[in-house]
DNA sequence: AATAAATGACGTAAAAATACGTCGAAACAT
DNA sequence: ATGTTTCGACGTATTTTTACGTCATTTATT
């Protein structure tokens, strides 16, 4: 396997970039928002929340897991999806206030300044 | 042009995702960090900062411009690169504290923030 | 005017992300 | 046991991103 170009950068930059990358797709944000807006974890089909095919959504879920932002534990025939507090705290430490974000998702207006 | 899949999502989610996407590459973070760590704008070759080819770096610069995070104004034969305060403020409003981030990258403290 | 230096524009190959169809395993229902 | 539901695993086509070489343009320099 040839050396990846990203290895040319500091580890700090690489890690930070990976976190932002995980947040860089509307489907993944929608999933995070959905889980963040609930009191408890969600047991069921996240597919129905996201306007994409089930397989694709699963792929996005896998990426969120990989980034440590959500957890999925199998319970019987269903899977229980939760935010991963550690991952969210990591965001907070990086200056990304997840709650602020969630709030802004709902009423964020882009205006040129 | 066929409808893009991202159009299936709320505008809020789309915009937020675009911002995160712009931050989702170490080269772009390095450029932001470099500009953020200076008192003034930078006139010169950012290529030398980033361990990638000049053309590639220009491409990343273009993306940062498109995302409204930096500005590049031509001055004579050189280009003057600055952080775009509006873009940075936008981040802040979204709960992304750019200075906290920089601090975590290398313990830097910016005066402006 | 001719040359050099800086930097964006364009084209393109390679890599990665995205989207989805299909299959299979586990748990539940009948 | 048989069928159904749930959901991850695998394969793959399409799109997007990444990376870079080359050329063009603009401004300094000689």
Which residue has better confidence, A78 or A106?
A: A78
| Residue B110 domain-assigned (yes or no) | no
B contacts of A106 (beta carbons < 8 Å) = 12
Q: The CATH number of the domain where B56 resides is what?
A: 1.10.10.10
Q: At what angle do helices A26-36 and B11-22 cross, to 10 degrees?
A: 110
| Residue A43 domain-assigned (yes or no) | yes
Query: How many domains does chain B contain in total?
Result: 1
Residue B102 reports pLDDT greater than 70: no
Mean pLDDT throughout B56-66? 94
Note whether A26 contacts B9, CB cutoff 8 Å: yes
**pLDDT, tens digit, for every residue of A3-58?**
567 778 998 889 889 999 999 999 999 999 998 888 778 888 888 889 999 999 99
Tell me: ipTM over 0.90. Answer: no
A contacts of B101 (beta carbons < 8 Å) = 16, 94-96
The whole-angstrom separation of Cα A105 and Cα A85 is 20
Residue B85 reports pLDDT greater than 60: yes
| Residue B54 domain-assigned (yes or no) | yes
């Amino acid at each position: 396997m040839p050396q990846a170009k990203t290895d040319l950068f500091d580890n700090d930059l690489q890690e930070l970039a990976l976190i932002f990358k995980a947040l860089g797709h509307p489907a993944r944000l929608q999933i995070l928002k959905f889980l963040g807006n609930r009191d408890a974890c969600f047991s069921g089909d996240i597919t129905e929340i996201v306007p994409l095919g089930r397989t694709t959504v699963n792929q996005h879920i896998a990426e969120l897991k990989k980034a440590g932002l959500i957890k999925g534990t199998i319970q019987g025939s269903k899977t229980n999806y939760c935010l991963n507090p550690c991952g969210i705290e990591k965001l907070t430490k990086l200056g990304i206030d997840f709650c602020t974000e969630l709030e802004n998702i709902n009423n964020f207006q882009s205006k040129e300044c």
